[in-house]
A and B are shown apart, each in its own frame.
Chain A
Amino acid sequence: MPAAAPRPDAIKAIPVRHWGRWIGAAVVVYLLAALLYSFVRSPNVDWPTVWEYLFQPITLIGLARTIELTIVCMVVGAAGGVMLAVMRLSDNPVLSWIALGYIWFFRGTPVYVQIILWANIGVLWTKFYVGLPFTGLVVASADSGTLVNNLFVVAVLALGLNEAAYAAELVRAGIISVDAGQMEAASSLGMSPTLMMRRIVLPQAMRVIIPTMGNETISMLKTTSLLAVIGGGVEMFGRLQQVYAQTFQIIPLLVVACIWYLIVTSILTLIQARLEAYFGKGFGEKEAEAAEKRTARRTSKAAAATLKAETVQEGESR
């Protein structure tokens, strides 16, 4: 191979000065500072009240409920979403159409209306039956009241079932984004459709699904605030609303709500980044390094195993 010439010195050029950018930025920062100042120093915000309510049990218990609801609704939504997505992609036209109809209804009506609808479901159906429809066979029955009186159940039904419709489309998009060659390779290796879905398709679909599901979770956290309309203190905002309805400390308590929502959504964003890194396995930039580490681990494990085997042999020969 001919020897390359020695590397020359890099070009040292004087960069273009962007004066316009500097002036523009200065103006924007100046205006923002004014806005922030007027907010922080406003007597109407009443910071002592903000600090007082930020850590009051009524807020913290509400916050815990909000997080709990977000998790439960997302689990219901994600599970329902995977089920609906698989139904939608199924060869069975009945299943596919049922999924399509479900998504049509729950995406086509506002979630606020759905919440109120679920809260009033007892007016539509006064009793629930477990049995065979059209035959008169009833195994068990219950008043709707027992269901609807538990506002947590109403909240999970309203938000979870709504989320399932959106999650279904996200999961479906993730599944169809996986290269068809992957399915062919998996089937040629003798994988059954279920195994192929679980081991090959869904893990790859996750790379597409996780970022959007993270957004959905953040969105769900904020959507729980709509549940204030059914009252009962099932989440944080409704509780704070009940307080300021009596004390008229509207702005301070809204600030409290905003602070907590921002803190939790920030934490969720960090978790989302971690999950993306995990499901991006095989697509990252530092893969060569990571491969070396894995190999080192394997070799040291193998060496340890041989050492152990040799020690055992020595022990036996003695």
Chain B
Amino acid sequence: MNRPVPGCLIDAATLADEAETVGKPMVKAEQVWKSFGKLDVLRGVDFIVQPQQTFVLLGPSGGGKSTLLRCINHLEKIDAGRLYVAGELMGYKERGNALHEMKARDVARQRASIGMVFQRFNLFPHKTAIENVMEAPVMVQRVPRKQAEQEAIDLLGCVGLSAKLDTYPAQLSGGQQQRVAIARALAMKPKLMLFDEPTSALDPELVGEVLDVMKQLARDGMTMVVVTHEMGFAKEVADGVALMDGGVIVEQGPPREILVNPKEERTKLFLSKVLA
């Protein structure tokens, strides 16, 4: 697959919006706690992602990375702390001293501006590639069908799938499906993209084509939070890296520090195993 063309994945208006918010954090987590029954999965997580930055979450399985990602777009409700996206509290409204749960409709509105890419792709199997990409713009944002179709054609072209517009997901390879999934999320013109182990379910030789798209997206200036085991990706495009274990962030900082000169023993141990 040819590498995506710079600037092709994000439209100028979205980028301009993001540039305006530089200085205000895109994601801000303050002492976020989450438990499933008696199991505390997140135990006081703090971090900040600035606009146009790529933030990579590393760490062993069960460390809480995916849960944290799912809390950002409120697929999971947090039990304590505060989580803000673009300055807006996720899933709750603060009135006086009380937090009010948001209506499903308002949560949906918040989520519409946050794209998410899943480990298992989760494409809609009863819709073709282009229908997958058009679905949410047409049904949620009420974009005229003609315009949504053109945008979908352009986006799928950007990720190298011009020849697969009318193909159902079942006829696509894993790498192709994941690229459709990225295009589907981008079609909503999100201000933030979340990636939940996007290459973990792929054959090794298909990982590169998905990473290429993600790297280009990062370079184009999309704000991204990425859970991954791809160290190369973290080294190449991450602005910030955090190591999560046991429901807390063990260490965070720029990739040069964390990946090359970690201070914490836990980070050193993890890196020695991953990079071995």
Contacts and interface: CB of A to CB of B under 8 A. Distances in A.
Contact of A189 (B165, B171, B188): B188
A107 B62 CA distance: 44
A52 B99 CA distance: 78
A188 B114 contact: yes
B120 interface: yes
Given A188-B114, A190-B140, A195-B140, A283 B170 contact: yes
Contact of B126 (A181, A190, A204, A294): A204
Contacts of A193: 104
Contacts of A282: 125-128, 168-170
A295 interface: yes
B170 A287 contact: yes
Contacts of A191: 108, 136, 139-140
Given A189-B188, A291-B167, A298-B166, A203 B112 contact: no
Contact of B118 (A185, A200, A204): A185
**Of listed B109, B167, B194, residue having the most chain A CB within 10 A:** B167
Interface string B170-210: 11000000000100110010000010000000000000000
Contacts of B127: 282
A128 B255 CA distance: 75
Nearest to B184: A189
B75 interface: yes
B111 interface: yes
Contact of A291 (B128, B135, B184): B128
B240 interface: no
Contacts of B181: 185
Nearest to B106: A192
A180 B168 CA distance: 19
A291 B139 contact: no
B171 A287 contact: yes
A281 B126 contact: yes
Contacts of B118: 181, 184-185
B233 interface: no
A189 B111 contact: yes
B116 A188 contact: yes
Contacts of B105: 192
Given A204-B126, A282-B127, A190 B168 contact: no
A130 interface: no
Interface residues of A, number: 29
B47 interface: no
A187 B185 CA distance: 12
Interface string A273-304: 00000000111000110011011001000000
A182 interface: yes
Contacts of B163: 295
A295 B140 contact: no
Contact of B125 (A190, A283, A291): A283
B104 A192 contact: yes
Nearest to B74: A187
B247 interface: no
Interface string B124-156: 111110000001100111000000000000000
A191 B127 CA distance: 16
Contact of B122 (A185, A190, A203, A291): A185
B114 A287 contact: no
Given A282-B169, A288-B171, A291-B167, A188 B128 contact: no
Secondary structure at the A interface, as helix, strand, loop or mixed, is helix
B73 interface: yes
A281 B116 CA distance: 25
Contacts of B123: 185
Contact of A188 (B115, B124, B166, B170): B115
Nearest to B187: A189
A232 to B, nearest CB: 44
Given A182-B124, A294-B128, A190 B136 contact: yes
A199 interface: yes
Contacts of A182: 122, 124
B144 to A, nearest CB: 15
B166 A295 contact: yes
A199 B131 CA distance: 12
Interface in A125-159: none
A252 B165 CA distance: 59
B225 to A, nearest CB: 13
Interface string A214-251: 00000000000000000000000000000000000000
**Of listed A181, A190, A193, A200, residue having the most chain B CB within 10 A:** A190
Contacts of A295: 163, 165-166
A187 B105 CA distance: 10
Contact of A190 (B108, B164, B166, B194): B108
A197 to B, nearest CB: 12
B59 to A, nearest CB: 21
A298 B165 contact: yes
Interface of B: 73, 75, 104-105, 108-116, 118, 120, 122-128, 135-136, 139-141, 163-171, 181, 184-185, 188, 194
14 contacts: A184-B118, A185-B118, A186-B124, A187-B111, A189-B185, A192-B104, A195-B139, A199-B139, A200-B124, A204-B125, A281-B168, A282-B168, A287-B171, A294-B128
| A-B residue pairs, 8 tightest by C-beta | A190-B112, A294-B166, A282-B168, A185-B122, A188-B116, A189-B136, A181-B122, A291-B167
